[in-house]
Structure 1
Amino acid sequence: MRFIEKLLKEEDFIHFVDIVVGAYPGSMDGLQPTKEQLKAHFMHNQYNDASINYYGLWEDNELVGGMRLHDFEMNLFSNIIPIGGVGLVAVDLLRKKEKIAKELIAHFFKVFLEKNIHFVALYPFKPDFYKKMGFGYGSKIHQYLVEPTSFPKGSTKRHLTYLTSQDKHRLADCYNRVAAKRHGMFYKTESELSSIFKNPRNYIIAVEREDKIQGYMVFSFNKQSETNFLLNNLVIKEWIYETPEALLELSTFLNSQADQVNRIEWNTQEENVHFFLGDVLNGTNHLIPSVYHASSVSGVGLMYRIINVRGFFEALTAHNFNGQTLTCKLTVKDSLLPENNQQIIIKAIKGNLNILDNENYDVEMMIDIAELSSLVIGVVTVQELFMLSKVKISDEQYIQALHQLFLVLEKPMCITAF
């Protein structure tokens, strides 16, 4: 018999760490923490951080899997909503392919549905696995690997300063001001904030003007040679800026590292930063036909899922859907959550939304929950989904109207790792 409950006993955490290390062997490599340190870290989170909870799955009183759940706050169209997160989904090496991960995810849904939370997210170990479970893709990330001199050099960097743990909440204030203006961003939790300063490899610098942090950067160095200690790359872990001036001062700092740094790794969801950089080439000399020079490498990562369609749309009644007037029957396919397998009527009048049960409608849109989850937050458009055969529309003359109804000008951005 299987059951899932919170991990509370030290013995349970010891077993969970063994499962995690088996599921993610890279977590014990090199400078990563020991098993004892992982156990202490997990237990500290469980007992001291209300936003983090660890769960285990037992079968016949044996722990065979587990996960970590997060309570986040997210900027959704300038409204702050609760969103659930799951990470560290791990299954005992001897128990794989026994649908343990599926049961853990189902319990993840249950936990947040009981909290009346309609939207969840995760970072997938296999995107296709979670796509089949109804998670839709978030914005892509672009990894640039450029020379320091590719970053513009401004007139000054005199407002730059190092930050210490005493500046933790000043840094958080800067981040949260940016998050409050940027669709998709999560507010920082106390644990996430502390981890920035606890990592001994991190350097943290900031632009400070008028006693206020207006931008900051967290970075570390990676050596590029076992025989030449002078060859290093600088890895940007977090770069937040409120103003063009703050961006340029931090860029000037990066430009000045040319004597010590080979290349700078910048992972960003901003699609057009190549306009900011000088030489955007990544050093591979790879040419894409006909003549496109390799610059960034892109990847899919964070995935979103609506776990209560009606509740999600009801929470958006204050959001204006681009001034559109349209009545749409939305038919959603959700193979994992039967309660989401439903039809609702969305009536928009000048962009103001109402959810109805019975109403004459102009058009029906049939869509899988994964694609719907990506559509409503602006990762993809109705027109794109239609051309890719990922949405069915009963009357094609309404494609443009539906496109405008769900159009989001700014794709969601999220730099929170969990």
Structure 2
Amino acid sequence: MIRLVTKSDLQQAASLVAMAYPGMQISGEEAQQTFIERLSFEIESENNLSFYGFFTEQDELLGLYKLHDLNMNVNGSIVRVWGIGTVAVHFFHKKEGIAKQLLQHFHELARQENVGIVSLYPFNTSFYQKMGYGYGPTRYQYKLKPTSFPSSGERKKVVMLSPSNEEEIVAVYNKFASMHHGMIERTWHERNLIKKKATYYAGVYEGNELVGALAYTLQPVKDSHFLHHEMNIFEWVWTKPSAFIDMCTWIHSQQDQVDRVYVRTQDESFIYQLEDPKNDSNRIIPSVYHEIGTVGTGIMYRISSIMSFVEQTNFNSLDRPDRPVTISLFVQDSFIKEQNGSYNLSYSEDCWSIEKSSISIEEVDVSIAVSDLSSWWMGCVSLEQLAQYGKVKVNNWPANQLDRWFKPTNKPVCFTSF
């Protein structure tokens, strides 16, 4: 049985998570008690979080997950999305299908709530791809000299912020989210991190309005003296280009104390703003490409309800056909079997609509796995690219034409972890 986790279940939950994630180092009694207090606070607070557990008939907890109810910018429209995190299975009950049942429960709840898209950060990408999750945008990590940043702005406009500026930080963050596809609005957990001063915050004002904010920490450089630091940037938002330049200039001025600045971003254009994007590895990639960073795959997206996704997004801000059209799709979805099959996706009077159809897989315009559909409709990869690699079959329509109608111009950007 899967049900909501209550306060009486938290001791079991802490033991379960300690075994499932030994890297969290909460197996000790004191660490577990701290973790229980955190879970208790999250359960009792009004927030966007819910915990669900897999229980035996004897009420033994064998698995659990955390549900995050979020608001995300999907190509200019703020829509409700769900995230799933802390998926944990009892160490002695792995390979018994518990994780699969937890995911099925999560997807069923999402469909009941008409949530069109869900997401997660995978512990195993292939495991979740088999469950219909498509790869999200890649994230780049750069390790830059402060002097790599432009210095043409006004350093003195950058001021230190504190938890008392929480509402202003949230406001500029959410405005940035409204401007960037894939961004999730500020969460309850992230507000708590501001209150707890988990990082330093620097900001730029224009008049009385905060138009840029940067969250960072400083840590000593290994095997160096106590005045030598690395700056770790966790979050960087701005609503005015001048604020970005001012903050770059402020970073540039830290060269006497900061050796390297870590920046993590999903924006491929970031390096074009820099004086010198090279890291400190001094490695060359053949023939002559200087190493500038590392790259990873993380957040994955899954369309949990094709009908709801089309209705809620209407593929806003994308090119529109100049006449009524109907595109036939065959979506392969072995995990949410109600979604497996053919669809007619029709456009008329500035509106896209979708309905199930009986057309065969051999006759459809596009045959695609739900994982690839999710990545395509979230703008992570183009249909044209998928077709070139043989991942999808496209008939009757140029793939690049379908991209103009259904693929967001920019890849998603996401700062939220869960």
Q: Calculate the TM-score normalised by the size of structure 2.
A: 0.92
Q: CA deviation at 1:179?
A: 1.0
**The one of 132, 135, 143 aligned to 1:134:** 132
Aligned residues: 410
Given that residues 321 and 348 in structure 1 are in contact (C-alpha distance below 8 angstroms), is that contact kept between their aligned partners in structure 2? no
State how 1:14-413 maps to structure 2 within 5 Å: 14-28=11-25, 34-59=31-56, 60-200=58-198, 202-225=199-222, 228-317=225-314, 319=316, 321-324=318-321, 325=323, 326-349=325-348, 352-357=351-356, 364-395=365-396, 398-413=398-413
Q: Which amino acid aligns with 2:333?
A: D
CA distance 1:398–1:39, shift in 2 (3 Å): same
- Extract unaligned runs of 5+ from structure 1: none
CA distance 1:80–1:403, shift in 2 (3 Å): closer
Deviations 1:189-245 (A, max 9, x none): 233212133144x11111122111100111112333256434421100101111111
Counterpart Cα distance in 1 of 2:14 and 2:372: 35
CA distance 1:227–1:21, shift in 2 (3 Å): farther
Given that residues 341 and 356 in structure 2 are in contact (C-alpha distance below 8 angstroms), is that contact kept between their aligned partners in structure 1? no
Q: CA deviation at 1:414?
A: 1.0
Q: CA deviation at 1:363?
A: 5.2
SS for the counterpart of 1:158 is helix
SS for the counterpart of 1:280 is coil
Q: Which amino acid aligns with 2:95?
A: K
SS for the counterpart of 2:398 is helix
Q: CA deviation at 1:80?
A: 1.1
Q: Which amino acid aligns with 2:256?
A: D
Q: Which amino acid aligns with 1:295?
A: I
SS for the counterpart of 2:313 is coil
User: How well do the aligned residues superpose, as a CA RMSD in angstroms?
Assistant: 2.1
Given that residues 89 and 101 in structure 1 are in contact (C-alpha distance below 8 angstroms), is that contact kept between their aligned partners in structure 2? yes
Q: Which amino acid aligns with 2:326?
A: T
Given that residues 330 and 345 in structure 1 are in contact (C-alpha distance below 8 angstroms), is that contact kept between their aligned partners in structure 2? yes
Q: CA deviation at 1:343?
A: 1.2
Q: CA deviation at 1:54?
A: 1.1
Deviations 1:281-309 (A, max 9, x none): 11111111111111021111111101111
Counterpart Cα distance in 1 of 2:382 and 2:194: 35
CA distance 1:296–1:349, shift in 2 (3 Å): farther
Given that residues 87 and 122 in structure 1 are in contact (C-alpha distance below 8 angstroms), is that contact kept between their aligned partners in structure 2? yes
Counterpart Cα distance in 1 of 2:48 and 2:244: 31
Given that residues 328 and 345 in structure 2 are in contact (C-alpha distance below 8 angstroms), is that contact kept between their aligned partners in structure 1? yes
SS for the counterpart of 2:314 is coil
CA distance 1:286–1:318, shift in 2 (3 Å): closer
Deviations 1:342-378 (A, max 9, x none): 2110123586423245699995211000000010121
Q: Which amino acid aligns with 1:109?
A: H
Identity %: 31
Q: Which amino acid aligns with 1:238?
A: E
- Extract unaligned runs of 5+ from structure 2: none
Counterpart Cα distance in 2 of 1:387 and 1:97: 36
Structure 1 counterpart of 2:416: 416
Counterpart Cα distance in 2 of 1:65 and 1:146: 42
Given that residues 320 and 353 in structure 1 are in contact (C-alpha distance below 8 angstroms), is that contact kept between their aligned partners in structure 2? no
Deviations 1:22-45 (A, max 9, x none): 22222228xxx9322221111111
Given that residues 233 and 262 in structure 1 are in contact (C-alpha distance below 8 angstroms), is that contact kept between their aligned partners in structure 2? yes
CA distance 1:134–1:360, shift in 2 (3 Å): closer
Counterpart Cα distance in 1 of 2:150 and 2:62: 52
Q: Calculate the TM-score normalised by the size of structure 1.
A: 0.92
Counterpart Cα distance in 2 of 1:267 and 1:5: 37
SS for the counterpart of 1:354 is strand
